[in-house]
Amino acid sequence: MDVRTHTALHVLKGAVQKVLHVEWTAGVWVEGLHGRLVVQTDRNPSQDELEEIQREANEKIQEDQEIEEYTLDRNEAENRWGDSIYDLFPLPEGITTVTVMCIPGWNVNCCREKHTKTTGEIGRITVRKSRFRKNKNLLELSFYIEPY
């Protein structure tokens, strides 16, 4: 998995949260420099909103913010950040230690994948396509990042 593309999912999620006020990620997909983020929402965003999402994501990348990772007790993580760190991906009950990736003020997720050290390493994100699936209340955002 491309570490930069995967990390871009987190930055894009933060932008989607900020612009559309959605909370839950329903799915992710990454292949090479292409990725797709699926979030739960009940409406199709306007073209302006989609452009704002892309702009917000790229501003966060330009800020070159440090990405923090914590491995900690599951209860402690839930007390600190709430169960929104899991999105719609429930963790098996037996798991007592979790790894959390945090872009402070932007996105916090329980995630065991590798991430870049800073948002700046991702490079520019382009939102290529959006698809709203009204019957499922899902919005799919397809994007790619620029090659080095």
What residues make contact with Zn ion under the rule CB under 5 A? Answer: 111, 113
Select 2 or 113, whichever has its Cβ closest to Zn ion: 113
Non-local CB neighbours of 88 within 8 Å, separated by 6+ positions: 24, 25, 26, 27, 40
Assigned token pair, 45 = 């965003």
Indicate the residue among 113 and 121 with the shorter CB distance to Zn ion: 113
Q: Tell me how far, at minimum, the Cβ of 30 lies from Zn ion, in Å.
A: 10
Cβ closer to Zn ion: 11 or 111? 111
Distance CA(122)–CA(73), nearest Å, equals 29
CB-nearer residue toward Zn ion: 49 or 113 = 113
The distance of closest approach from Cβ of residue 22 to Zn ion in the complex, given in angstroms and rounded to an integer, is 18
- How near is the Cβ of 115 to Zn ion at its closest, in Å? 6
Concatenated DSSP letters of 78-132? HHHH-GGGGTT-PPPTT--EEEEEEETTTEEEE--S---SBGGGG--EEEEEEEE
Number of neighbours of residue 78 by Cβ within 10 angstroms: 15
Question: CA-to-CA distance for 26 and 39, rounded, in angstroms?
Answer: 5
Least distance CB 135 / Zn ion (angstroms) = 29
CB-based closest residue to Zn ion: 111
| Residue 58 vs 107, nearer CB to Zn ion | 107
Closest CB 133 distance from Zn ion, rounded Å: 24
